[in-house]
Amino acid sequence: MLSLLALSCPQCSAPLPRAARWRTVNCNYCGATITRGEETVERESFRAALRRANADHGDTGRTLQWRGARYRVLAPLAIGEHSEVLLAERLGALPERVTVKLARESADGAVLLREAAVLQGLQSLAMPGASYFTRRLPQPVGTGLAEGLADGSRQALVLRHPPGFWGSLHNLQQANPRGIDARHAVWLWRRMLEVLAFVHDAGWTHRDLSPAHALVHPRDHGVLIVGWSRAQQASGPAHAAAAARDLMQSAWTVRAVLHGGKPDDSPGLGDRTPAPLAALLRRCSEDAAECQRLGARGIEQALSTASHEAFGTPQFVHFDPAPGA
């Protein structure tokens, strides 16, 4: 006899997406963050406890109100073209750290709404590898007006905050004026190529990859690609050309961190970059046809070959993103 399992939100009883069986999700109706567990909790007890916890936050400092919850702003993270990016924490019984992107101007609200739609589309992918790679893409909590600001309400895109990320590759470039060790450039590029391969297979392209749109996780050797507001879904020659441009931009991004924070207009290849890696970076950053021929997986294979030729057997090398700090 077939046994069926239905998961519903403990706060509003709405059905939850299939992914709730293996990871934390947000209810599409009330916005509650939910993690599946074995313990059974009566809905009324849950709601009563939630009301008690939210009755007195005891918070100080700058706070935002968003979707009926209050968030304490912990730190500014960045100022982008369209948004002010903040680290915040939800107040109450279920604290959660989030990244809040606040529209800088009223017209920028549409950009955040579009980015949210793109990210939701990426998170909804059901192709092979989705359960792994969607966790390595920004995870949207939702959009809506954030209030309690000195300048009134602003459109906000709230994302689940990924722990352990140090800053962007632009920050890394500034912190290393002579460029980074080329061994680190190998894994940085590989992490980007892995995600781009998955995204491109799904018909999506980023279209705005730059050092500012790649966050680095020093301890786990991870990279999170952000800034998806210009992403598009397509097929055929248009998709192939856009995917090749993504790959060229990834190569330029790696060249930037190898070049370092020197004030030259065009990133070089760094003073300590071995010839095999330098040759691959030069081809992929300057030849769209080569990127289109190889694709993300082909470049990753070529990178493994160049890395082995330059450095020998792969090994984990500790990474300090700001050695002079």
Same domain? For 195 and 231 the reply is yes
Q: How far is residue 48 from each of residues 8, 51, 52, 53, 124, measured CA to CA in Å? A: 18, 5, 6, 9, 33
Residue bearing the bigger pLDDT, 321 or 54: 321
Mean pLDDT, the chain, integer? 90
Average pLDDT of 43-62? 66
Same domain? For 128 and 179 the reply is no
Model confidence at 301, in pLDDT bands (50, 70, 90)?
A: very high
Q: What is the pLDDT of residue 61?
A: 64
CATH number at residue 220: 1.10.510.10
pLDDT above 90 coverage of the chain, percent: 73
Q: What is the pLDDT of residue 2?
A: 46
Of the residues 160, 176, 199, the one at which a domain ends: 160
Out of 20-24, 87-91, 185-189, least confident range: 20-24
CATH number at residue 104: 3.30.200.20
Tokens of 245: 């441009």
Q: Are the CB atoms for 226 and 248 separated by under 8 Å?
A: no
Average pLDDT of 87-96? 90
Of the residues 160, 176, 191, the one at which a domain ends: 160
322 assigned to some structural domain: no
Q: What is the pLDDT of residue 58?
A: 55
292 assigned to some structural domain: yes
Q: What are phi and psi of 213, to 5 degrees?
A: -105, 25
237 assigned to some structural domain: yes
252 assigned to some structural domain: yes
Q: Are the CB atoms for 208 and 227 separated by under 8 Å?
A: yes
318 assigned to some structural domain: no
Same domain? For 176 and 301 the reply is yes
Which strands, in side-by-side order, build the sheet including 83-90?
Answer: 63-66, 69-79, 83-90, 97-103, 154-160, 140-146
Residue 285 has pLDDT above 60, yes or no: yes
- The reported pTM is 0.83
Residue bearing the bigger pLDDT, 299 or 2: 299
Q: What is the pLDDT of residue 4?
A: 53
29 assigned to some structural domain: yes
Q: How many domains does the chain have?
A: 3
97-126 pLDDT, tens digit per residue, is: 999 999 999 999 999 999 999 999 999 999
Q: What is the pLDDT of residue 312?
A: 95
Average pLDDT of 76-86? 95
Same domain? For 186 and 290 the reply is yes
304-317 pLDDT, tens digit per residue, is: 999 999 999 999 99
Q: What is the pLDDT of residue 150?
A: 78
Contacts of 54 (CB under 8 A, 6+ apart): 69, 91, 92, 93
Handedness of CA 59, 61, 64, 65 (dihedral sign): positive
319 assigned to some structural domain: no
Q: What is the pLDDT of residue 11?
A: 77
Same domain? For 305 and 230 the reply is yes
Same domain? For 19 and 113 the reply is no
Same domain? For 180 and 299 the reply is yes
Rounded to an integer, what distance in angstroms lies between the CA atom of residue 314 and that of residue 46?
50
Model confidence at 48, in pLDDT bands (50, 70, 90)?
A: confident
Residue 283 has pLDDT above 80, yes or no: yes
Domain, as residue range, for 6: 1-53
Same domain? For 78 and 144 the reply is yes
Rounded to an integer, what distance in angstroms lies between the CA atom of residue 166 and that of residue 226?
14
Which residue in the block uniquely carries the two structure tokens 């992918």? Answer: 125
Same domain? For 272 and 285 the reply is yes
320 assigned to some structural domain: no
Q: Are the CB atoms for 34 and 27 separated by under 8 Å?
A: yes
Residue 1 has pLDDT above 90, yes or no: no
Same domain? For 95 and 49 the reply is no
Same domain? For 177 and 256 the reply is yes
Same domain? For 153 and 246 the reply is no
Of the residues 126, 160, 194, the one at which a domain ends: 160
